[in-house]
Amino acid sequence: MDLTLAIIVTVVGASTPILIAALGELVVERAGVLNLGVEGMMLIGAIAGFVVQFHTGNPYLALLSGAAAGTAASLIFGFLTLSLSANQTATGLALTIFGTGFSALAGSSYSARPVTLMQPLLPEQLADHPIGRVIFGYSFPVYFAFVMVVAVRYFLHSTRAGLILRAVGENDQSAHSIGYSVIGVRYLAVMFGGAMAGIAGACFPLLLTPQWAERMTAGRGWIAVALVVFASWRPLRLLAGAYLFGLVMTMELYAKAGGGVLSVIPSELWAALPYLATIVVLVLISLRRDATTNAPACLGKPFLPTN
Amino acid sequence: MQFRLEKRREPSQFMLYATPVAAVALTMIVGAIIFSLIGYDGVGAVREIFLTPLTNAYKWQDLGVKAAPLIIIGVGLSIAYRANVWNIGAEGQYVIGGLAGTGIALLTYGMTGWWILPLMVLAGMLGGMAYAAIPALLRTRLNVNEILTSLMLTYASVQLIYYLIRAPWKDPMGMGFPQTRLFSEAARLPFIIPGTIVHLGVPIAVVVGLVAWFIMTRSVFGYRMRVVGAAPHAARYGGFSEHKTIWLALLVSGALAGLAGVLEVAGPFQRMVPGFPTNYGFTAIIVAFLGRLNPLGVIVAGVVLAITFVGGEVAQTTIGLPNAATGIFQAMMLFFLLAGDILIKYRVRRVVPQPSQGAA
């Protein structure tokens, strides 16, 4: 019972940042923009969150700083790809390279300095019972992620603004000729993606490992990008996907800790598993008939008004 | 005063080659300003990173050694990107190439013979090719995006190194360090200039660049890559199969990344260590773009990026600039380059406000 409990709690912790980052990227892609800089924005958010937590000890301020830093980073991407119609694939890669360097530079004087982990959101009494712990015992970002799944779903499918955003992603020329600002909508989407990636990054020092380590997001941003494809651009499927990956990553942790059956397989294979699982998942998705039919039609294409 | 963009009738050849130069110059200027603002000696940082490696003849050998893998991988990537095939997992193909070469070196440990190095090189290229074949197969058969698969395989390849040097390939005399034993003499790349660290990989890189330039400009293969990338519909009419192009792009770029890997492990490293993945595969992406996806340009760009690596190390010791600063300079270069791309297709026109004609 205790082990099951511990596993569930670890899975939730590992899944939360991926889910938050992937939700942001989902909205960006629904607007027709492919931002491959998620990993870089997450690292920038992680260092911003870490520094603020280190100096203020206020995790909410740390999450906000992560969001602000991620948004700022996303604006570099937005300016290049939306205002200057630069190649989105290349710009996203550049953003990831930049974020890796920037976070390493900013964090170079903070190595081996601990911060305090974020405390659970709800009163302790609720989490006394094991089942209470599994439901009520988490810190704010875990619930934030769930709320955002519902919110993003509602926004995309039940609001006028969401409809406009999807129109911009499906047919930018028509949206433009009706009079919507394609570039404006895409800027807002890209900024939302940046804020979410920044929050996701800040979750690493606040929820998972309470210190700064270079490249501490370890490719999770790329997994978030893959998850959006996995989820066929739908928020609820994203939730399932993120928790599936959280489970795979948790198995790695237990294998490394020498957890019985799991340790028969070399720990390196467990460490490689999330990445290999991503490939397997992408393959399985491609086998489905509706595989790419859900992809926004204008995904990754620069918008140049024809009139 | 207002400016607006006006589409050019023909892409500007001048801007095509002027923007990379401008990107490097802007990086130096803006870099100096930014690093000054955050409390470093900004001008000193730029001088050490961009100029010291050039002015200090003692550093030239480092430039050659660092530029070689960047050029070899960058040439392969430039060919793939020309065809719009986004292999961003060159780092993984580089690692597998290095591991394949290591495998041969360990199998032939203690043996002598001229054939060992060529066999290692062959194994390295085949290894890189095989690893790039996975994204190619998945893309052509199942339409799985090659960006994600090639990248995920990179993360997996690093774990493969860790496993091999921790368990089956571990140096029995290594005092517990996770690394293979030092390759025997016949499996080490010869130095071509006595007294320096310049190894055979350096001239190989130049040859790879020249040969690739010749092939890309003078052969049907090069034509195919350029046409498929620039005009996919026309290419289909012309009878170039898209699948075959994807295969070729990934296999060529994978083989070259593998070649770089085996040359690195047999040259500077001489054994497999945990620190073997040095991000050359990712930096080569910048090299390919800065070189305008043209193999000759890639040679120049490879040297430019090598300068920043060597200069970054210089700045670390002389003015205490953290090593990570190099990555920021490199990313800035790519940002400025991508931003400048718009000037190839558009020109900036000043809009002179017209005096209002009569009362409305």
Question: What secondary structure does DSSP assign to B309-346, as a single string?
Answer: HHHHHHHHHHT---THHHHHHHHHHHHHHHHHTHHHHE
**Interaxial angle between packed helices B60-82 and B201-218, expressed in degrees from 0 to 180 and rounded to the nearest 10:** 30
* Residue numbers of the domain that contains B125: 59-333
- Chain B residues lying within 8 Å of A233, measured CB to CB: none
Q: Does the pLDDT at position A9 exceed 90?
A: no
Which tens digit of pLDDT belongs to each residue from B198-227?
Answer: 999 999 999 999 999 999 988 888 888 888
Flag whether B43 is in a domain. Answer: no
Characterize B135-163 residue by residue with b for buried, 16 or more Cβ atoms within 10 angstroms of its Cβ, and e for exposed: bbebbbeeebbbbbbbbbbbbbbbbbbbb
pLDDT score of A252: 78
pLDDT score of A230: 81
> For chain A, what is the domain count?
1
Query: What is the sign of the dihedral through the CA atoms of A116, A118, A122 and A127?
Result: negative
Chain-chain contact of B152 with A89 (C-beta, under 8 angstroms): no
Alpha-carbon span A196 to A45, nearest angstrom: 9
Flag whether B15 is in a domain. Answer: no
Characterize B341-360 residue by residue with b for buried, 16 or more Cβ atoms within 10 angstroms of its Cβ, and e for exposed: bbbbebeeeeeeeeeeeeee
Share of chain B above pLDDT 90, in %: 63
**Chain B from 340 to 359: CB within 8 A of any A CB:** 341-342
How near does any CA of chain A get to the CA of B324, in Å?
Answer: 5
Alpha-carbon span A92 to B104, nearest angstrom: 38
Search chain B and give the residue with CA nearest A283.
Answer: B144
Search chain B and give the residue with CA nearest A285.
Answer: B144
What is the SS3 assignment for A43-80?
Answer: HHHHHHHHHHHHHHCCHHHHHHHHHHHHHHHHHHHHHH
Which tens digit of pLDDT belongs to each residue from A245-266?
Answer: 888 888 877 777 766 666 677 8
Q: Is some CB atom of chain A closer than 8 A to the CB atom of B153? A: yes
> B interface mutation test: which of A217, A220, A279, A299 has the most B CBs within 10 A?
A279
**Chain B from 8 to 67: CB within 8 A of any A CB:** none
Average pLDDT over residues B315-328: 87
Q: What angle do CA A96, A102, A108 make, to 5 degrees?
A: 135
* Residue numbers of the domain that contains A14: 2-287
Q: Is some CB atom of chain A closer than 8 A to the CB atom of B286? A: yes
Both tokens assigned to B158: 């690093």
Average pLDDT over residues A132-158: 90
- Sequence-separated (6 or more) residues with CB below 8 Å from residue B77: B87, B90, B253, B284, B285, B287, B288
Characterize A92-102 residue by residue with b for buried, 16 or more Cβ atoms within 10 angstroms of its Cβ, and e for exposed: bbbbbbbbbbb
Q: Is some CB atom of chain B closer than 8 A to the CB atom of A11? A: no
Over the Cα atoms of chain B, what is R_g?
A: 23
pLDDT score of B360: 42
Characterize A258-286 residue by residue with b for buried, 16 or more Cβ atoms within 10 angstroms of its Cβ, and e for exposed: eeeebeeeebbebbbbbbbbbbebbeebb
Residue A39 belongs to a domain with what CATH number? 1.10.3470.10
Q: Which of A95, A104, A225 sits opposite B324 (nearest CB)?
A: A104
Distance spanning both ends of chain B, measured CA to CA: 23
Chain-chain contact of B151 with A279 (C-beta, under 8 angstroms): no
Residue B138 belongs to a domain with what CATH number? 1.10.3470
pLDDT score of A291: 57
How near does any CA of chain B get to the CA of A290, in Å?
Answer: 12
| Secondary structure of residue B6 in the 3-state scheme | strand
Q: Does the pLDDT at position A307 exceed 60?
A: no
**Residues B230/B289, Cβ–Cβ less than 8 Å:** no
What is the SS3 assignment for B64-123?
Answer: HHHHHHHHHHHHHHHHHHHCCCCCCCHHHHHHHHHHHHHHHHHHCCCCCCCCHHHHHHHH
Alpha-carbon span A33 to A299, nearest angstrom: 5
For the residues of A177-204, what is the DSSP string, one character each? Answer: HHT--HHHHHHHHHHHHHHHHHHHHHHI
> For chain B, what is the domain count?
1
Chain-chain contact of B331 with A94 (C-beta, under 8 angstroms): yes
Alpha-carbon span B358 to B261, nearest angstrom: 72
User: Which pTM value belongs to this model?
Assistant: 0.89
Q: What is the mean pLDDT of chain B?
A: 90
The residue that leads in pLDDT, A230 or B171, is B171
- Sequence-separated (6 or more) residues with CB below 8 Å from residue A300: A32, A33, A34, A88, A89
- Chain A residues lying within 8 Å of B285, measured CB to CB: 90, 93, 97
Q: Which of A212, A245, A28, A249 is nearest to A115 (CA)?
A: A212
Q: Which of B147, B49, B131 is nearest to B96 (CA)?
A: B131
Q: Which of A97, A108, A272 sits opposite B331 (nearest CB)?
A: A97
Share of chain A above pLDDT 90, in %: 50
Q: Does the pLDDT at position A118 exceed 90?
A: no
Chain-chain contact of A86 with B341 (C-beta, under 8 angstroms): yes
Which tens digit of pLDDT belongs to each residue from B220-237?
Answer: 888 888 888 778 777 878
Q: Does the pLDDT at position A132 exceed 80?
A: no
Flag whether A300 is in a domain. Answer: no
Chain-chain contact of B148 with A283 (C-beta, under 8 angstroms): no
Search chain B and give the residue with CA nearest A227.
Answer: B148
> B interface mutation test: which of A51, A91, A273, A282 has the most B CBs within 10 A?
A282
Alpha-carbon span B85 to A64, nearest angstrom: 38
Flag whether A74 is in a domain. Answer: yes
Chain-chain contact of A89 with B145 (C-beta, under 8 angstroms): no
The residue that leads in pLDDT, B182 or A307, is B182
Alpha-carbon span A62 to A64, nearest angstrom: 5
**Residues A268/B162, Cβ–Cβ less than 8 Å:** yes
Both tokens assigned to B350: 């000043």
Average pLDDT over residues B289-293: 92
Q: Does the pLDDT at position A206 exceed 70?
A: yes
Flag whether A77 is in a domain. Answer: yes
Search chain A and give the residue with CA nearest B151.
Answer: A222
Q: Which of B143, B135, B137, B141 is nearest to B90 (CA)?
A: B135
Q: Which of B143, B285, B339 sits opposite A84 (nearest CB)?
A: B339
Q: Which of B142, B162, B324 sits opposite A268 (nearest CB)?
A: B162
Both tokens assigned to A123: 């009163």
Chain-chain contact of B286 with A275 (C-beta, under 8 angstroms): no
Average pLDDT over residues A45-55: 96
Chain-chain contact of A282 with B167 (C-beta, under 8 angstroms): no
Chain-chain contact of B341 with A84 (C-beta, under 8 angstroms): yes
Chain-chain contact of A97 with B88 (C-beta, under 8 angstroms): no
How near does any CA of chain B get to the CA of A73, in Å?
Answer: 12
Alpha-carbon span A273 to A76, nearest angstrom: 33
Which tens digit of pLDDT belongs to each residue from B45-103?
Answer: 999 999 999 998 888 999 999 999 999 999 999 999 999 899 999 999 999 999 999 99
Backbone phi, psi, residue B278, to 5°? -110, 20
Alpha-carbon span A95 to A135, nearest angstrom: 37
Chain-chain contact of B88 with A102 (C-beta, under 8 angstroms): no
Cβ pairs A/B, distance under 8 A: 129
How near does any CA of chain B get to the CA of A218, in Å?
Answer: 9
Chain-chain contact of B330 with A283 (C-beta, under 8 angstroms): no
Q: Is some CB atom of chain B closer than 8 A to the CB atom of A276? A: yes
Query: Which run of H or of E encompasses B352?
Result: none
Q: Which of A148, A47, A141, A138 is nearest to A100 (CA)?
A: A47
Both tokens assigned to A16: 């939360």
pLDDT score of A262: 65
Q: Is some CB atom of chain A closer than 8 A to the CB atom of B234? A: no
How near does any CA of chain B get to the CA of A150, in Å?
Answer: 27
Q: Which of B91, B98, B64, B69 is nearest to B265 (CA)?
A: B98
How many other β-carbons are positioned within 10 Å of the β-carbon of residue B25?
Answer: 12
Q: Which of A90, A101, A278 sits opposite B152 (nearest CB)?
A: A278
Q: What is the mean pLDDT of chain A?
A: 88
How near does any CA of chain A get to the CA of B162, in Å?
Answer: 7
Q: Does the pLDDT at position B358 exceed 70?
A: no
Characterize B58-90 residue by residue with b for buried, 16 or more Cβ atoms within 10 angstroms of its Cβ, and e for exposed: ebebbbbbbbbbbbbbbbbbbbbbbbbbbbbbb
- Sequence-separated (6 or more) residues with CB below 8 Å from residue A302: A81, A85, A86, A87, A88
